[in-house]
Structure 1
Amino acid sequence: MPHIRPRLIFPLAIGGMALLLALSIQAEPRLLHSEPSPFGQVLVFEDNGERCLNFNSMTDLGRQTCMDLQEPDELVFSYTRMMISALFVNPAPRRILIVGLGGATLQKALAALLPDATIDTVEIDPAVARVAEDYFDYRPGPRQRLFVEDGRAYIENARRTGQQYDMVMLDAFDVDYVPEHLMTVEFLEHVKAILAKDGIVVANTFTNSDLYERESATYAHVFGPFFNLRQGNRVIVAARDTLPGMDAIRSNAKAWKNKLEPLSVDVEQETDRYAQRQEKGSADLLRDPKPQ
């Protein structure tokens, strides 16, 4: 998922003189891998102590994934910290589905936090799947299963075959934004149908999207009230049944505090985000195109 990382500029004092020079500490990004795919050129590069994945350009600050090379378990981007805080809503998911792989940040974090859980990931781009294994330490296996196919097709088939998940995370992006067929009422109804009792959906979107109000209305139409977490990106947390109250959120957050803080999650800050709920929306709903 794209996320903006600012370059760091530091003042430098030379020879005791109060001379401030605006010097970037960053050299040019170093390309490690480039591979064409049907969805854009997949690039892996190192920049400012981080290994990053992006499409088409190394200089675009809207990056898909970055991993701190010194602290590889750290959740570098705010949106991943918001998404992992969904454990405050459903603290013990046993079956998790993630649509979108990127550099496998969420997959690896959840596997470490939930050693008994099964994490299924659907990634449409085989080049991204290869890069996640070769450069970001992603290791598919019995508990970490990878399916290279379209996320909607997978979810529709999961509904037909009666599969159920405790948590569905939607983190699928092309070069520009969420693919249209993963945003509609019809798609979200399929997602809701594969949620188990107390199951939740966690969706990563943008705060500055032109579709913001329509996304809100669409999620509210399918799920009712949802938590609306915002910091740069917007993360929607909705439930198949009823959202928990703030007392339950705080209790679950307290229970997770010691395990999440080493990942650079500010538990108090993330908890406070759940005070904001979106009850409904009045904009036009996002729907599948009508058959011709």
Structure 2
Amino acid sequence: MRKYGGVLVHCRRDHIGIIEVVDTHGVRSLHFGTHPRQSAISLAEPEKLELSYARAMLVGLLFKPDPRKILLLGLGGGTLAKFLLNHFPACRIDAVECRAAVAEIAYEYFGLPRDERLAVHVSDGNEFVCAEADRRGAEYDHILVDVFDDEGLAEMVNQQDFFSASQRLLRPEGVLAVNLWATQTRSQRQSMGLLNLYFERRTMRLQVPGRGNVIGFGLGERVQCADMAGLKERAKTWELALGIEFPRFLRLLSYSGWR
């Protein structure tokens, strides 16, 4: 069966809606009943990050390059989790996904490894971060938020308690990255406003080239602005090591009140 210009590989419905896996010209994509891709992998090179917005979400590694613990909100096909497991063997990852069926598909169709360093929690992301912030406090070097449904950005991203809890869960040297959607102007402004509020304007914004994604970054209170020459050198080194266009992303970063 043809779907979204490709071949429908798998389809199921859970309590939220439709979940589809589609192969198109050597790329496998995850869809939630609509054309936008929620995750994608190259079938020939499954270890690479196929989507530019996913690569852009890792810009925080330039500021905190030695992660020991990462929180992913929104598992999708598990591409970010798999990439981080491959490249950071000392790192442990908590991934939160509200749909058990999505997690099952990530393992079965997108090659997410069953690794002792990865814990997948089937839970509401907002409830998870609020509970963990109250229970643990500062825990993570990086928090990566990529939570979309079939209509766009999930509402949990625009909640004060979500940003407050995320800030408390982040270590002082850590970075929060939030995937936003440029066409949802009001929603994006609200998210960036909350990001600036709870991170006291230690924030950055990256418009992903050629895409509708905007990545918002919140920086922990101990993150220092390295000299630009040092950041550029790290970006070049990590571009070769990770296959991510960090030099280009670094040029496109815009800063708020943080210096």
TM-score strictly above 0.5: yes
Which residue of 1 is the match for residue 7 of structure 2? 30
Which structure has the larger Rg?
1
Which residue of 2 is the match for residue 85 of structure 1? 59
Secondary structure of the residue aligned to 1:63 is coil
Which residue of 1 is the match for residue 197 of structure 2? 221
The separation in 2 between residues aligned to 1:197 and 1:27, in whole angstroms, is: 43
Instruction: Write the letter of the residue equivalent to 2:193.
Output: A
Q: Is residue 270 from structure 1 mapped to residue 249 from structure 2 by the alignment?
A: yes
Which residue of 2 is the match for residue 106 of structure 1? 80
Instruction: Write the letter of the residue equivalent to 2:232.
Output: R
The separation in 2 between residues aligned to 1:156 and 1:178, in whole angstroms, is: 19
Q: Is residue 50 from structure 1 mapped to residue 31 from structure 2 by the alignment?
A: no
In structure 2, the CA distance between the partners of 1:27 and 1:102, relative to structure 1 (3 Å rule), is: closer
The separation in 1 between residues aligned to 2:203 and 2:126, in whole angstroms, is: 22
In structure 2, the CA distance between the partners of 1:205 and 1:30, relative to structure 1 (3 Å rule), is: same
Which residue of 2 is the match for residue 204 of structure 1? 179
The separation in 2 between residues aligned to 1:104 and 1:27, in whole angstroms, is: 21
Unpaired segments of 5 or more residues in structure 2?
none
In structure 2, the CA distance between the partners of 1:119 and 1:64, relative to structure 1 (3 Å rule), is: same
1:95 to 50, 57, 69: 69
Shift of 1:240: 2.0
TM-score by length of 2: 0.89
Q: Which structure 2 residues correspond to residues 175-194 of structure 1 after superposition, within 5 A? A: 175-194=150-169
Shift of 1:98: 0.2
Instruction: Write the letter of the residue equivalent to 1:219.
Output: L
Secondary structure of the residue aligned to 2:66 is coil
Unpaired segments of 5 or more residues in structure 1?
1-25, 281-292
Q: Deviation per CA, 1:79-111: give whole Å up to 9, x if none.
A: 011012221121111000000011111111111
The percentage of aligned residue pairs carrying the same residue is 26
In structure 2, the CA distance between the partners of 1:27 and 1:196, relative to structure 1 (3 Å rule), is: closer
Aligned length: 248
Q: Which structure 2 residues correspond to residues 112-261 of structure 1 after superposition, within 5 A? A: 112-163=86-137, 164-211=139-186, 212-223=188-199, 224-231=201-208, 232=211, 233-241=213-221, 242=223, 244-245=225-226, 246-261=228-243
Q: Deviation per CA, 1:194-239: give whole Å up to 9, x if none.
A: 1112011011001221222222222111111311111221011111
In structure 2, the CA distance between the partners of 1:251 and 1:42, relative to structure 1 (3 Å rule), is: same
The separation in 2 between residues aligned to 1:272 and 1:102, in whole angstroms, is: 28
Instruction: Write the letter of the residue equivalent to 2:9.
Output: L
In structure 2, the CA distance between the partners of 1:253 and 1:127, relative to structure 1 (3 Å rule), is: same
The separation in 2 between residues aligned to 1:53 and 1:27, in whole angstroms, is: 11
Secondary structure of the residue aligned to 2:56 is helix
Instruction: Write the letter of the residue equivalent to 1:74.
Output: K
Contact 2:157-2:191 within 8 A present in 1 as well: no
The separation in 2 between residues aligned to 1:63 and 1:28, in whole angstroms, is: 12
In structure 2, the CA distance between the partners of 1:272 and 1:89, relative to structure 1 (3 Å rule), is: same
Which residue of 2 is the match for residue 8 of structure 1? none
Q: Deviation per CA, 1:100-146: give whole Å up to 9, x if none.
A: 01111111111111110001100000110010000000123320110
Contact 1:27-1:48 within 8 A present in 2 as well: no
Instruction: Write the letter of the residue equivalent to 2:195.
Output: Y
Shift of 1:251: 3.9
The separation in 2 between residues aligned to 1:214 and 1:156, in whole angstroms, is: 19
Contact 1:167-1:199 within 8 A present in 2 as well: yes
In structure 2, the CA distance between the partners of 1:49 and 1:27, relative to structure 1 (3 Å rule), is: farther
The separation in 2 between residues aligned to 1:124 and 1:134, in whole angstroms, is: 17
The separation in 1 between residues aligned to 2:166 and 2:233, in whole angstroms, is: 27
